[in-house]
A and B are shown apart, each in its own frame.
Chain A
Amino acid sequence: MSLRIKGGRVIDPANSLDQVVDIVIENGKIASVGAVPKGFRADQTIDAKDKIVCPGFVDLRARLREPGLEYKGTIESETRAAAASGITTLCCPPDTTPVCDNPSVVELIYQRAAASRKARVLCMGALTVGLEGRLTSEMKALADVGCVGVSNGYKPVRDTLVMRRAMEYASGHNLTVFIHAEDTWLRGGGVAHEGPVSTRLGLAPIPEFAETIAVARELALIEHTGARAHFCGLSTARAVNMITQAQEEGMPVTADVNMHNLFLTEMDLLDFNAQCHVRPPLRSQRDREGLRAGLLSGAISAITTDHQPHDSDAKFGPISETEPGISGLETFLLLGLRLVKDKVLTLSQLISLISSGPAQILGLPVGNLSVDSTADLCIFDPEISNTVDAKRFLSRGQNTPFDGWELDGRVTHTILDGQLVFTAE
Chain B
Amino acid sequence: MGYKNSIQLTKDKKLRHFLTIEGLPRAILVEILDNAESFLTVGEQQVKKVPLLRGKVIVNLFFENSTRTRTTFELAAKRLSADVLNLNIATSATSKGESLLDTLQNLEAMHADMFVVRHALSGASFFIANHVAPHISVINAGDGCYAHPTQAMLDMLTIRKHFGAFADLNVAIVGDILHSRVARSEIHALTTLGVNEVRVIAPKTLLPSAIESMGVHVYNDMNKGLEGVDVIIMLRLQKERMDGAFVPSEEEYFNCYGLTEEKLRLANSHAIVMHPGPINRGVEIESSVADGKQSVILEQVSNGIAARMAIMSMCMSGIAAGEV
- Per the bound structure, the CA–CA distance linking A201 and B127 in Å amounts to 13
- Per the bound structure, the CA–CA distance linking A319 and B1 in Å amounts to 19
Q: Does B85 contact A (CB under 8 A)?
A: no
List which A184-203 residues lie within 8 A (CB) of chain B.
194-196, 198-203
Task: Say which size band chain A's interface belongs to.
Answer: 20 to 34
Q: Are A205 and B100 in contact (CB under 8 A)?
A: no
A317-B122 in contact given A196-B213, A270-B3 (Cβ < 8 Å): no
Q: Are A318 and B211 in contact (CB under 8 A)?
A: no
B124 partner residues in chain A, CB cutoff 8 A: 318
Q: Does A70 contact B (CB under 8 A)?
A: no
- Per the bound structure, the CA–CA distance linking A205 and B119 in Å amounts to 19
> Which chain A residue lies CB-closest to B181?
A202
A270-B1 in contact given A205-B209, A318-B122 (Cβ < 8 Å): yes
- Per the bound structure, the CA–CA distance linking A270 and B3 in Å amounts to 9
> Which chain A residue lies CB-closest to B4?
A271
> Which chain B residue lies CB-closest to A274?
B127
Q: Which of B22, B99, B121 is packed against the most chain A CB atoms within 10 Å?
A: B121
**A310 shortest CB reach to chain B, Å:** 16
Q: Are B127 and A272 in contact (CB under 8 A)?
A: yes
**B178 shortest CB reach to chain A, Å:** 9
User: Can you name 27 A-B pairs with beta carbons within 8 Å?
Assistant: A194-B210, A195-B210, A196-B210, A196-B213, A198-B209, A198-B210, A199-B210, A199-B211, A199-B213, A202-B144, A202-B146, A202-B181, A203-B144, A205-B209, A271-B3, A271-B126, A272-B122, A272-B126, A272-B127, A313-B99, A316-B101, A317-B127, A318-B123, A318-B124, A320-B122, A320-B123, A321-B121
Q: Does B208 contact A (CB under 8 A)?
A: yes
Q: Which 7 A-B pairs have the closest CB atoms?
A: A202-B145, A272-B123, A199-B208, A318-B121, A202-B146, A318-B124, A196-B210
**B121 shortest CB reach to chain A, Å:** 4
- Count of chain B residues with a beta carbon within 8 Å of a chain A beta carbon: 28
Q: Does B90 contact A (CB under 8 A)?
A: no
Q: Does A409 contact B (CB under 8 A)?
A: no
Q: Does B147 contact A (CB under 8 A)?
A: yes
A319 partner residues in chain B, CB cutoff 8 A: 121-123, 127
> CB-defined interface of B118-155 with A at 8 Å, one 1/0 digit per residue?
01011110110000000000000001111100000000
> Which chain B residue lies CB-closest to A270?
B1
**A320 shortest CB reach to chain B, Å:** 5
Q: Are A199 and B214 in contact (CB under 8 A)?
A: yes
> Which chain B residue lies CB-closest to A271?
B3
Q: Does B78 contact A (CB under 8 A)?
A: no
Q: Are A195 and B209 in contact (CB under 8 A)?
A: yes
Q: Does A207 contact B (CB under 8 A)?
A: yes
B209 partner residues in chain A, CB cutoff 8 A: 194-195, 198-199, 205, 207
